[in-house]
Amino acid sequence: MKLNEKETEVLEILEENSRLSIDSIAKMAGISFEETEQIIHKLEREKVIIDYAATIDWRKVEGHEGVTAMIDVKVAPKRGVGFDEIAERVYRFKEVQSVYLMSGAYDLSVVIEGRSMSEVARFVSEKLSTLDSVLSTTTHFILKKYKHDGRIFETGEEDKRMVVTP
């Protein structure tokens, strides 16, 4: 889908901060409120904007210390459907956050989020590994998130400038 300059501008602003009001986005992009509203609706309808999500540091919330694991999965592709069929079977599990087809030593990279290590382990051993096409899995637990989806978690980004400068 080919987007015009204004549509691209609105998308970039939203990608940076999806909580901005339409009024603010309109002002930043230098277009009218109505036009901005139309652009956003169109992009939502066309599934260019898939969702509005927040990046949350769950470690800071008591009782929500989740566990994230990245699993390298080797699979046997099937004639006619390649890796797509097995990928679809994997991404439909609610525990699965993302699935990527990879080049290199393994085929699928699967990111799982669970409440505990044992929950993730159970998912891998009982659900993922038992799928027909899955040949092997290697699970890596994420110990700490420093940067995620382009966002730095511990920023310490307070304004160090003087209040007034020449």
- Minimum CB distance to another protein smaller for 60 or for 161: 161
Q: What phi and psi values does residue 11 have, to the nearest 5 degrees?
A: -60, -45
Q: Rule CB under 8 A: is residue 6 a binding residue for another protein?
A: no
Distance CA 36, CA 27 (A): 9
Q: Give the interface segment with another protein, choosing from 35-43, 47-55, 121-129, 156-164 (CB under 8 A).
A: 156-164
Q: Give the interface segment with another protein, choosing from 7-15, 91-99, 122-130, 135-143 (CB under 8 A).
A: 7-15
Distances 99 to 88, 91, 111, 153, 165 between C-alpha atoms, Å: 9, 6, 7, 23, 49
**Residues 14-43 interacting with another protein (rule: CB under 8 A):** 17, 20, 24, 27-30
Q: Give the interface segment with another protein, choosing from 10-18, 44-52, 66-74, 135-143 (CB under 8 A).
A: 10-18
**Residues 40-99 interacting with another protein (rule: CB under 8 A):** none
Q: Which two three-digit tokens encode residue 65? A: 């210390």
Cβ 99 vs Cβ 109: under 8 Å: yes
Q: Per DSSP, what are the bridge partners of residue 81?
A: none
Distance CA 6, CA 37 (A): 12
Binding mask 106-145 for another protein (x = CB under 8 A): ----------------------------------------
Rg, C-alpha atoms of the chain = 21
Query: What residues line the site for another protein (CB under 8 A)?
Result: 9, 12-13, 17, 20, 24, 27-30, 157, 159, 161-166
